[in-house]
Amino acid sequence: MRTPEKPYRCGVCRWQGQLEPIDAGDAAPCPQCGVYLYPLTWIQTWGVALVMIAGTVAAVFVMVFVMKGSKRLSHMSV
């Protein structure tokens, strides 16, 4: 039975990609420099993208509420 490939990133040579683990600890040798690598967690893989998306959504909500609030204030002062 073949193990599924997992995402890896080498801290030495900066190689990044998918590899098939060679042992039960999910270690795999870097194809460029031979250093043993351990798979990235989903936070390491997707964390930055999720933070950027959440920040963008939050900024849009803030802008919508600020615009609604400024329209209410302009109506009240008339």
Say if residue 19 is in the same domain as residue 33: yes
Does residue 3 have a pLDDT over 80?
no
Q: Buried b vs exposed e over 1-13: b needs ≥16 C-beta within 10 Å?
A: eeeeebbbebeee
Does this model's pTM top 0.75? Answer: no
Same domain for 31 and 61?
no
Distance of CA 17 to the CA centre of its chain: 15
Report the pLDDT averaged over residues 57-62.
94
- Per-residue pLDDT for 76 more than 60? no
* Residue 39, CA distances (Å) to 50, 54, 68 in order: 19, 25, 46
pLDDT higher than 90, residue 49: no
Residue 17: the pLDDT is 93
Whether 36 and 47 share a structural domain: no
Q: 28 and 52: one domain?
A: no
- The rounded distance, in Å, linking the Cα atoms of 73 and 65 is 12
Total structural domains in the chain?
2
Please compute the mean of the pLDDT values over residues 54-60 and round it to a whole number: 95
22 DSSP assignment: S
Write down the residue that tokens 């190689």 correspond to.
Answer: 15
